[in-house]
A and B are shown apart, each in its own frame.
Chain A
Amino acid sequence: MLENIISELEKQFQLEAVDHNSSDLVFLTIDRDHAVMAIDLLKWKFGYKHFVLLTAVDFLEEGKFQLTYILNNPDTKTDIGVRVRIDREDANMVSAHHLWPTVATYQRELKEMFGIDFPGSPRLNDPFILEGWEGTPPYRRDFDTKAFAASFYHQREGRTTNDPATYMKEKLYPNE
């Protein structure tokens, strides 16, 4: 079943990689400009109408983001993961909110957490989880969590222990 769909896709798009995870889950990589068209085809022609998730994976050392769209066909009970590699420096992708309204929420989160732009996606720049965030988007791998925590939060001093008898004496009768 999945082999037929992949061979159909290969006729229309150049698939950069196809990885069979199991008999009912396959991941394939398509170039940025054709990915949403392939997703459109998978939804309307091949019945992958359940949009499972959209997320990004940061391959910092390669200078790339991988966007993964997982689509499910509830009739054939199979899943296809569509992977797209985009440049980290110019991180933008064609929006897919016209296919499922709920995709806009995922894209809004990716804009905030990874700094990936989806031109035309509704309410893309509205704060989602963070409010008033400036600087490197926090889910990028080059975001220094330790430095952020050190600069943003007040560092508490460590605990001190006192001898109870001496402590109470000094507290209650400081002049004696």
Chain B
Amino acid sequence: MSKKEFFPMDGDRTKYPEIKSDGTADIDLSSHKYIKLWHGPNHPGITGNMAVELTLCGDEVVEGITHVGYLHRGFEKLMERRKYIQNFPLVCRIAVPEPDYNEYNYATCIENLTGIDVPEKGMWLRTLTLEMARLQGFLMWIGGMAGAIGFGTVGQWANYCRDLVLDRFEELTGGRIYHIYILPGGVRNDIPEGFKDRMEKNLREIEGFMKDIRRAFFDNYVFKKRSVGVGYIDPAWVFDYGIVGPNARAAGFKHDIRKNYPYAKYAELDFEITTAKDSDIYTRAFLRFEELLKDIDLIRQILDKMPEKGDHISKVSNMMNLKIPAGETYVRSECTRGEYGYYLVADGSEYPRRVNVRGPSYTHGVALLEKMLVNVNIADVAQLMVSLHTYPPEIER
């Protein structure tokens, strides 16, 4: 297959629009060659509340501009006015489908700056919740990806499976979506009796559904026809555009923070970094599917290796009025979308001076998406966006 056939949208841009000397496209709307179309903020193919302002020439996108701000609640500003412990109900809302990474990073920042230790079992329970968050995050993503191109049934199966994981979250933490489970010094509750057996039953059911999803979705001719060769990420863009996680691994970049910068108990788990090389929508989708299956295996490993006895949280005195000495730190972890980081600056008071959240969507959803949208067919915009797996609250936190 020639390159032209394999990448049908990598076409000739010499006619429309003309490129000006500063590198931007010369788009004259009054020429009637182009139309403006707002894709979102409420659209089934949009990941959350964000909009893309498209300029179309026929059915081809010539320019796309990301617009965010529909969910802006000023998290980082709010955190500066609250005591350290009061921020836990806030941070989890920055990435709604995966709140645990916010809790983990924020708690670890506090622990780094204060020297609070986390007991062995607390670390294992953190690792368990982080992997459960990854599993349900991928399941929700499959629902979104399938829904974006019309596979609604597959989306329902995936969301049913996610509900099974949320059941276990509810049992472990008391909450289905927001858990506020990870605290400085460990986790809030110990694991309930019989949790392992119930989790194993859920994992088996999910594995059964994954076989169906693979047959119905990933082996599907229509999905392959629409996604192979579309939405190509050049490996040379990885550092230029801050591409991380599955988007980078699908472009051949072997990088996983769980492996390269082992945190929590990942150093004691047996897994390999998943990579691929074709770097199109299908490759990214299938790589996430493979990571999902590995997450199931990792949850089993964690439950097998976790000690039955031991403290789940260390004693921290006067947490409500915790003062952190002046200093700063950066903590990262690997969520479903890649590097999730927290930069915390303390000034010696009871309030953080500054908390900055580095979400993977910040780079994927703005600079990278705007670059990738050029020359894409209007019908592929939704699946292209979902294939980058962006959460808008991370961009406008």
Contacts and interface: CB of A to CB of B under 8 A. Distances in A.
B238 to A, nearest CB: 9
A13 interface: no
Contacts of B7: none
B240 A100 contact: yes
B76 A139 contact: yes
Nearest to B239: A49
B394 to A, nearest CB: 12
- Chain A interface size band reads 35 or more
Interface residues of B, number: 37
Contact of A52 (B240, B255, B358, B367): B358
Interface string B363-374: 100111001000
Given A68-B343, A74-B255, A102-B363, A130 B242 contact: no
A146 B125 CA distance: 39
Interface stretch (A19-27, A31-39, A168-176): A19-27
A51 B76 contact: no
Contacts of A42: none
Contacts, number: 91
A28 to B, nearest CB: 12
Interface string A97-141: 000111011000000000000000000000111110000001101
Given A21-B112, A77-B260, A139-B77, A129 B72 contact: yes
Interface stretch (B90-98, B172-180, B313-321, B325-333): B325-333
Given A21-B112, A57-B354, A129-B69, A70 B242 contact: no
A21 B345 contact: no
B224 interface: no
Interface in B351-397: 353-354, 356, 358, 362-363, 366-368, 371, 395-396
Given A74-B255, A79-B330, A139-B76, A105 B367 contact: yes
Contact of A101 (B74, B241, B255, B353): B241
Given A58-B354, A70-B343, A77-B261, A100 B242 contact: yes
A131 B67 CA distance: 10
B95 to A, nearest CB: 16
A53 to B, nearest CB: 4
B367 A101 contact: yes
Name the residue among A49, A68, A131 with the largest chain B CB count within 10 angstroms. Answer: A68
A101 B367 CA distance: 8
B68 interface: yes
Given A59-B353, A102-B242, A105-B362, 18 more contacts: A19-B327, A21-B327, A21-B328, A21-B330, A22-B112, A27-B328, A52-B332, A53-B358, A68-B345, A68-B356, A100-B240, A101-B240, A102-B367, A105-B366, A128-B68, A128-B69, A129-B395, A145-B74
16 contacts: A19-B327, A50-B239, A51-B239, A52-B330, A52-B341, A77-B261, A81-B328, A100-B241, A100-B242, A102-B240, A102-B363, A102-B366, A102-B367, A102-B368, A129-B72, A139-B76
* 5 A-B pairs closest in CB distance: A55-B356, A129-B69, A57-B354, A53-B358, A102-B367
